[in-house]
Amino acid sequence: MRTALVLALLLAASDAAAIDASNRYRSPRNPERAIRRSTELIVLHTTEAPAKSSLNKLSDRGEAHFCVTEEGSVYRIVDRDREAFHAGRSMWNGKEDVDKFSIGIECVGYHDKPMSSVQLGAIRQLVKELQSMYRIPDERVVCHSHVAYGAPNKWHKRAHRGRKRCGMLFAMPSVRKVLGLSARPKTDQDVKARRLVVGDDYLNKVLYGSVDTMAGKVAGPRNSPGTNTKTEEKPNPILERIKSAVQTKPAQDGQSPAAQPKPAEPAARQQPKLQSPKPQPPKPQPPKPQAPKSIADLKRMGYVERGKISRESTASRIAGKQWNSPDTWYTIRDKIFPGDKIDPRKLENGMSVWTKK
């Protein structure tokens, strides 16, 4: 017992010394988590929720090793040499339960929205430090979508890749470039070996194709290698003409060209003043369809209740790929939530799922 306590203290001390992170949200689950035998992957997640609620949940359940907030703060959740329960149902190159051989980093944000240069800079530094410690190559810094998979159900007869889009943006070339990652996984080895099938075609194109919705929306952290922080000034055509005239006109009476006064332009050659065009009235926009406010509205608009969420019947089992579509609605306790805006973590048992006929 005493030996185990000493070992735990040594691990915590080495972790604190190696990574500059706050222990404010260090999980009380630490002592019960096993020491990880190997580290082959770094898995990047997106919280899909604000920082405060995410940090509290991660700490309470011990669901990550680190969390990086929008302001670039890094919090330690589970000691980096222990197992954190962050990957859930997962597989990588035939090996299941990715928690046993990976480090999980939660990043406050959403899988389909860009992150600030400050946050990306903090993620980059943390990833590089962990890569150096565990000798992890760039192509093994992956997102949760790379490893998560779903069990067979009525929409997918076989186990399939595509259970989550969590961390999807970290597979995109523009974001990986900002993070200093020069390589990414080229193929899904589990799909290639027919252990899994593709269950989300769009996600597969993001992970292994050329889809990059973050291109032009993310910028590298200031003063990071390979990042140009100097902004280019657009040339002013009026100033350029003045400079050109001053430089080409010969000097008189020993004066420098810059000191020569510019003669007034003859009245006949002066350009007439342009009148600003009259503002045009805005074009009428078609009215936006109103969102349903009650179950009666849903029925009137042609929606049908497909089932209720339970342990055995998840949202994706009930609605399939449309579970997070704007044309899918969830109701509970007289409240209505659109499928494309509801936080997946807030789906609860008893929620009714509504889709079109």
Band (pLDDT 50/70/90 cuts) for residue 3 is very low
Between these two residues, 261 and 334, which has the higher pLDDT value? Answer: 334
User: What is the set of domains in the chain, with CATH numbers?
Assistant: 11-208 (3.40.80.10), 295-356 (no CATH)
**Span of 186-195, 199-208, 288-297 with lowest mean pLDDT:** 288-297
Strands 102-107 vs 91-92: parallel, antiparallel or unpaired: unpaired
Per-residue pLDDT at 32 exceeds 60 = yes
pLDDT score for 356: 86
Residue pair 285/293 in contact by the 8 Å Cβ criterion: no
314 in helix, strand or coil? Answer: coil
d(CA 40, CA 215): 28
Average pLDDT of the segment spanning 347-354: 88
d(CA 321, CA 163): 10
Between these two residues, 174 and 319, which has the higher pLDDT value? Answer: 174
**Span of 16-20, 169-173, 250-254, 308-312 with lowest mean pLDDT:** 250-254
Strands 303-308 vs 95-96: parallel, antiparallel or unpaired: unpaired
pLDDT score for 292: 86
Bridge-partner residues for 107, per DSSP? 46, 68
pLDDT digit string, tens, across residues 312-346: 788 878 888 788 888 898 898 888 989 888 877 77
* Predicted TM-score of the model (pTM): 0.61
pLDDT score for 231: 33
Band (pLDDT 50/70/90 cuts) for residue 8 is very low
pLDDT digit string, tens, across residues 71-119: 999 999 999 999 999 999 999 999 999 999 999 999 999 999 999 999 9
Residue pair 170/45 in contact by the 8 Å Cβ criterion: no
What is the pLDDT of the chain when averaged over all its residues?
83
Q: Which long-range contacts (CB under 8 A, 24 or more apart) does 54-57 make?
A: 54/106, 54/108, 55/25, 56/25, 57/345
pLDDT score for 118: 97
Bridge-partner residues for 337, per DSSP? 330
pLDDT score for 154: 87
Q: Which residue has the tokens 């069990």?
A: 151
Average pLDDT of the segment spanning 236-247: 49
d(CA 68, CA 152): 34
